[in-house]
Amino acid sequence: MNRGITTTILHADRQSAVEHGATHKPVHVSAAYRYGDVNDLIGVFQGTMSGFSYARQGTPTTAALENKINLLEGGRGTIAFATGMAALTALFTTLLQQGDHIISSQYIFGNTNSLLMTLQRLGCDVSMVDATDVRNVAAAVRPNTRIVFVETIANPGVQVADLAAIGELCAQNGLLYVVDNTISTPYLFRPRDVGAGLVVNSLTKYIGGHGNALGGAITDTGCFDWSRYPNIYDIYRKGDPATWGLTQLRKKGLRDLGASLSSDAAHRIAVGAETLALRMERACGNAAALAQWLAEQPEVARVNYPGLPGNPGHERATQLFAARRAGERAPRYGALLSFELVSELDCLAFMNALKVVILSTHLGDTRTLALPAAHTIYHEMGPEKRAQMGIADNLIRVSVGIEETEDLIDDFAQALQYAAAR
């Protein structure tokens, strides 16, 4: 991709001869697709011809979105799913089997953690390691290890994984490296640049960006040699090995599991994605300003944000999330931060005093959202696991939106004053 990501996204549909010269790909609602010649229908089923058969396996609208995500990630192919969790479930259940071992970062999305526990019950071994240091990943590698899974910037502690070194380790050991890029987005970072074979994005978050549609995607970057992967079924070991992984994911993961993205959601996500770069610039700028301001307040005990020079992930983030094209933009550190108030202050009373900021789960919205992490998204896993993941009881997670910076700081300031005066 030689053009910038916004130009690319805005003009992606046009490149594929959109019906009647429409500038948006239309929302196709047909469940079934007809063919005048039965040989064409057969060709589509057998994969010798491209086309659509039944909407569970995709529609022209979801395919147009897949193309855009693929351009963003610089992939060789992308599959869209109904949600980010559907993409992750499809990935793990399709590519792993009983007795396989997976190494995962211990700093991951709560529901992904829960999914890995399900895989364990189904007979996979799971090692959770501190992936901010490649040595912990290397120490966990076993003969039956198949997948190494990490998130770029973790939620809510914002730890930055040792992304480049883990990529090298996976390449040396022939392991499939899977990176969840949801929090950084392809605007900040492309996992293919560190050798990831598969990239997962929750499209519900920054890519869709407006909190009005659910979606997920898996992108094959082309970095992984599928002919070395033992779990490809014989029926998919045909033709170019570069296609094997995604073919199996589309058949076993999308078609059979059935968590398909609707055309309607695909359209909304595609419209949202047009402004990904603009929204990320603004939200990341807001997050940096807010993190800086919070760090200066005596009522705040600790701020987690990779953009702060004191953060353990700061240097790595600066290196990884710097502009791909020189001069394109300043280094950005994401729009997610978390912080703890000093122990004398009641974090719940503080949150109740917020007026602009919305008390809500979800992240990557245009609106700023806050929630008490230990009481909500990390409640189910219990105190021991929370301690392992570094989630303090009074930790407040903030997904920073695109409001005017001063309005956000004013809101946090008045809520801090309120909590301190109680």
Ligand X SMILES: *Cc1c(COP(=O)(O)O)cnc(C)c1O
Q: Name the one range near ligand X by CB under 6 A: 36-44, 77-85, 233-241, 402-410.
A: 77-85
Under the binding rule (CB under 6 A), the answer on residue 214 touching ligand X is yes
Report the residue from 155, 184, 185, 221 that binds ligand X according to the rule CB under 6 A: 155
β-sheet bridge partners, residue 81: 216
Q: Please report whether residue 365 would count as binding ligand X according to CB under 6 A.
A: no
By CB under 6 A, residue 280 contacts ligand X: no
Least distance to ligand X from the beta carbon of 180, Å? 5
Could you give the string, one character per residue 366-385, with x where binding to ligand X holds by CB under 6 A and - elsewhere? --------------------
Residues 111-150 that bind ligand X (CB under 6 A): 112
Least separation, in Å, of the C-beta of 115 and ligand X? 9
Contact window for ligand X (CB under 6 A) among 25-33, 81-89, 262-270, 289-297? 81-89
CA–centroid distance for 393 within its chain: 25
Stretch that binds ligand X, among 21-29, 162-170, 201-209, 405-413 (CB under 6 A): 201-209
Chain residues 252-271 in contact with ligand X, contact rule CB under 6 A: none
Q: Given phi > 0 = left and psi -120 to 50 = alpha, else beta, which region is 85?
A: alpha
Q: For ligand X, which residue has the nearest CB?
A: 84
Q: Rank residues 148 and 416 by Cβ distance to ligand X and give the closer one.
A: 148
Considering only residues 163 to 192 of the shown chain, the ones binding ligand X according to CB under 6 A are 180, 182-183
Among 79, 85, 115, 408, binds ligand X (CB under 6 A): 85
Looking at the Cβ atoms of 205 and 282, the one nearer to ligand X is: 205
Name which of 13 and 365 has its Cβ closer to ligand X: 365
Q: Closest separation between CB of residue 401 and ligand X, Å? A: 15
Q: Quick one: which of 38, 89, 33, 27 has its CA closest to 63?
A: 27
- Which amino acid belongs to residue 401? G
Instruction: Return the number of the residue (77 or 84) whose C-beta is nearest ligand X.
Output: 84
Strands 77-81 and 216-220 come out as antiparallel
Among 83, 260, 262, 304, binds ligand X (CB under 6 A): 83
Amino acid identity, position 335: A
> Between residues 112 and 127, which has the closer beta carbon with respect to ligand X?
112
Q: Which residues bind ligand X (CB under 6 A)?
A: 83-85, 109, 112, 151, 155, 180, 182-183, 202, 204-205, 214, 216
